[in-house]
Structure 1
């Protein structure tokens, strides 16, 4: 059987939504047939394998009782995760559930949230924002291990490598705590893996750890990850993915999305709203942002050779206008002006016209109108031969607002 490698993301946002909708419909049909009381009763009998041969009537996973007799809303949600992970093959799903319960007991996972792993790995993976379906988003930053001291500390001994895995499992457990494990609730996470400036096969211990983490996560956290999106992918990644492929289930492979550096923002926008994408990835989200909160993001498309103007109204009262703007792939001419409502007044140049290259990130600027009504005009001139997508938002702050 030929090994599979994740293909570079090329689907449109509508296609992604249709794909997810189709998957949900198919799975709902399957669940109606397969998830019977007999299957659930068989699954919760796992504790018979305990040494005392007794059934734990309080058995639960992620704070959700597994026994149907408990009447918990989340019981079906948890059992369906195991069934989906094994293509609705009841016996295989049952075995998977048993192994997960055994693994959690052996590794004391239920108490892992109380363990302190220090701050050394805090920048290597963290939760930040939500996606289009309100799923929590976890960012994994691989290049932190380019720091030789951190690399040697983390992978220098078997004990430290085991600590790394436990830290990763703790992060997963923290993410699950943010979920609503009920029918219709948010029941999975979105994982983003940033490979910018990270080494390839030379960091052997790192990729062994990645493989081990993937195997444990796919076997013991079924269907808790909606997608694994790899961004800023270098060419060497395809070699590594082919090495990892034999260890991945088909279900896991189907959730892999790959984006080369030029397609990062475009790919992330298929899963995450612009206001939730961190600025370093082309979105508008900034740490401790005091300017914007829930303001809507608008977008326009520019045909090759066309010009678009975006107008931001300025009130008659004195206030400050703040705006964010980003053009995917840029390569445009751009300028900002304040045009007073008084026809006899002069137009004020806020930002001189200039050519903006493809590597430019989102731009934020502001203007105080000093009590003069009018409008801010943002002009984007698409001088390239490609269609451009423009994202923007704005806010007006007066003396009585913030």
Structure 2
């Protein structure tokens, strides 16, 4: 009975999330026209079949504040990146095994808007040999997993960045910037909200170095939560039966590879 009720609620949210304003609809048509022209140009590998649905184009449009030219340019760069970085269409677990072995990313439950809940335990992340490109592949693996779990029509996810136990050994600014690049440039408007919990004082020094690289749209979605307020704050967006048990809820965390 509870699962049926949850499904009905998610369907209502799906309808709401699918709504595109008349103004956005016109701009999306302009984007499609521009992409068709680019496809017809010589030495251009853009395929109309890869363009995706209106919701996908809308995400890029919103990421560029409704500017059709900038949104189209951003989308073209995404198509080119996807072809070269994910040539097989997806990242396999074997390609990112070292990061998966750190068991630091989890996914479980949905918030009140039907967005998948994800958790990152930063205290388990340690710099690995292999370079920043390997870590970016791990980020793509994670994001694609999350997106595959979204209800039809849902576009965003919620992330809880838990810094409990995080210290000098976990500092990896290149990884942070790499993850930001992937999220902001190639998965725009996918992040619904980011809760940062259990942040130690030392993290704020690193945060000051990272902040200039975070775009304004992303900054608006970031919330620092004091330790004493974690459960109460999360319950504003997440029902207790969907909240991870480590924050006082009723669901056990599931590692991203097992989700």
TM-score normalised to structure 1 length:
0.53
Q: Any conservation in 1 of the 2:108–2:252 contact (CA below 8 Å)?
A: no
CA gap 1:127/1:287 in 2 versus in 1, 3 angstroms:
closer
Distance in 2 (CA, whole Å) between partners of 1:138 and 1:244 is: 21
Q: Any conservation in 2 of the 1:113–1:174 contact (CA below 8 Å)?
A: no
Residue 199 (structure 2) aligns with: 233
Deviation (angstroms), 1:140? 0.8
Q: How does 1:353-372 map to 2 (within 5 A)?
A: none
Q: How does 1:197-236 map to 2 (within 5 A)?
A: 197-200=165-168, 203-204=170-171, 206-236=172-202
SS class of match (1:132):
coil
Write the deviation string for residues 240-276 of structure 1: whole angstroms up to 9, x where unpaired. 2221121111111111111121111112112211111
Write the deviation string for residues 91-132 of structure 1: whole angstroms up to 9, x where unpaired. 110111011111111212553333513375252112111111
Deviation (angstroms), 1:223? 0.6
Match of 1:86 among 64, 87, 100: 64
User: Does 2:33 match 1:41?
Assistant: yes
Deviation (angstroms), 1:48? 4.7
User: Does 2:139 match 1:139?
Assistant: no
Match of 1:169 among 125, 136, 140: 140
Q: Any conservation in 2 of the 1:129–1:136 contact (CA below 8 Å)?
A: yes
Name the structure where strand makes up a greater proportion of residues: 1
CA gap 1:197/1:50 in 2 versus in 1, 3 angstroms:
farther
Larger radius of gyration: 1
Q: Any conservation in 1 of the 2:245–2:253 contact (CA below 8 Å)?
A: no
Write the deviation string for residues 173-223 of structure 1: whole angstroms up to 9, x where unpaired. 111112245xxx2111111111111015x644x222012111221110011
CA gap 1:144/1:41 in 2 versus in 1, 3 angstroms:
same
Q: Any conservation in 1 of the 2:107–2:253 contact (CA below 8 Å)?
A: no
CA gap 1:251/1:89 in 2 versus in 1, 3 angstroms:
same
Runs of 4 or more, structure 1, over 3 Å off, are 27-30, 43-50
User: Does 2:155 match 1:187?
Assistant: yes
CA gap 1:109/1:232 in 2 versus in 1, 3 angstroms:
farther
CA gap 1:273/1:80 in 2 versus in 1, 3 angstroms:
same
User: Does 2:228 match 1:262?
Assistant: yes
Q: Any conservation in 1 of the 2:108–2:118 contact (CA below 8 Å)?
A: yes
- Where does structure 1 lack aligned partners over 5 or more consecutive residues? 1-23, 66-74, 146-150, 289-402
Distance in 2 (CA, whole Å) between partners of 1:233 and 1:281 is: 15
Residue 118 (structure 1) aligns with: 97
Distance in 2 (CA, whole Å) between partners of 1:93 and 1:162 is: 25
Residue 302 (structure 1) aligns with: none
Residue 50 (structure 2) aligns with: 59
SS class of match (2:123):
helix
SS class of match (1:58):
helix
SS class of match (2:49):
coil
Match of 2:24 among 17, 28, 31: 31
SS class of match (2:97):
coil
Deviation (angstroms), 1:283? 1.4
TM-score normalised to structure 2 length:
0.80
Q: CA RMSD in A?
A: 2.7
Name the structure where helix makes up a greater proportion of residues: 2
Deviation (angstroms), 1:236? 2.8
Distance in 1 (CA, whole Å) between partners of 2:151 and 2:88 is: 18
Between Structure 1 and Structure 2, how many residues are aligned? 235
Q: Any conservation in 2 of the 1:275–1:285 contact (CA below 8 Å)?
A: yes
